[in-house]
Amino acid sequence: MRAATVLEFNKPLQILDVPIPTPASDQILVRVLASSLCNSDIAGWMGVVGAVAPYCPGHEPVGIIEAIGSSVKGFAKGDRVGFMPASSICFDCNDCIAGNHRFCEKKTSVGFKGPYGGFSEFCLADPLSTVKIPDALTNESAAPLLCAGVTAYAALKKVSQFVTGGKTINVIGCGGVGHLVIMYAKEMGYGVHAFDVAEDKLQLARDSGADKAYNTATLADGGVKQANATVVSSGATSAYDLAFKLTQNHGRIIAIGVPRGDISVNILEMVRHDLSLIATNQGTKQELAEALEIAATHNIKPCYEMRELEQINEGFQDMLQGKIAGRLVYRMG
């Protein structure tokens, strides 16, 4: 089978012919049908998030179960599933006990280590990270929800702890994750003011349901719209600078977008205005199932462009250069 492989960081991927793996007793073998490209794949390829080369990237795969280990329950051959990266967890740490096994120190992350990932034609999944895909979702629509969608939804669940539906929130960065933040926010009853520097992403924000979309490159001081919550789905340092201006006293900034380096924050200003900065990272298996269900029942459809696996290197470059408004989804089978 084919597997797009990072042999060396920052070098073109190679499509290798590798053997189809055999699932261990606690694993699922999935024939991948569609798989999308996430910004974390780019960060992995750059060698900044702990990926271990050589490896096959991709952590937004949707496929059909081909074989199941003897101890796996709840799944059957032929089920259509998607899965998140965490596998081989310890079952014993506080995070594993709480269902937050993506934070387990002993886990392996599929798509960041090993010869199989979302961009191999077959992949091994951990049942604890695997969910069934609702019938109403196509493979292509479901794939971006496996990381971008659950990240957006779980961030908004954090928002919902302190801002009720009906109020308006700010979303900075309207790309692959940001447009899904907007779509889920609208379904959860929020008004959305969207901010980006790129006109194509502002159009995507409007198409995704944003009530207002502002170009931050030309935003005058009077255009700053404060809200109690600001979700930052851009990794630009300037996005975080803006977030502090856009957030009302006692409000919270939810960090999804990861800047390449450190950013500085003004603690004095945070103290004066009682502001909090909260990070969020994907979601639980339950939150993934909820994100998929909401998408299926409320017709949330990610914006995507289809590509072939042979075009994987172009995709990495297009993402790096900010050319992709939504998601790139690769046809795998």
Residues that bind Zn ion (CB under 5 A): 38, 40, 89-90, 93, 96, 104, 147
Residue 44 token pair: 């992995």
Question: Three-state SS for 323?
Answer: coil
Measured from the CB of residue 257, what is the shortest distance to Zn ion in angstroms?
12
330: three-class secondary structure by DSSP = strand
Nearest CB to Zn ion, comparing residues 242 and 303: 303
Instruction: Quote the least distance from Cβ 38 to Zn ion, whole Å.
Output: 3
- Between 93 and 265, whose beta carbon lies closer to Zn ion? 93
Kindly state the tokens that stand for 148: 């971008």
Closer CB to Zn ion, 29 or 38, in the complex:
38
DSSP sequence for 52-80:
EEEE-----EEEEEEEE-TT--S--TT-E
- Of the pair 157, 225, the CB lying nearest Zn ion is at 157
CB of 95 to Zn ion, least distance (A): 6
Return the number of the residue (177 or 275) whose C-beta is nearest Zn ion.
Answer: 177
Half-sphere exposure of 251 (CA within 13 A, CB side): 21
CB of 280 to Zn ion, least distance (A): 12
Contact 116, 58 (CB under 8 A): no
**Least distance from C-beta 106 to Zn ion, angstroms?**
6
The rounded distance, in Å, linking the Cα atoms of 226 and 229 is: 9
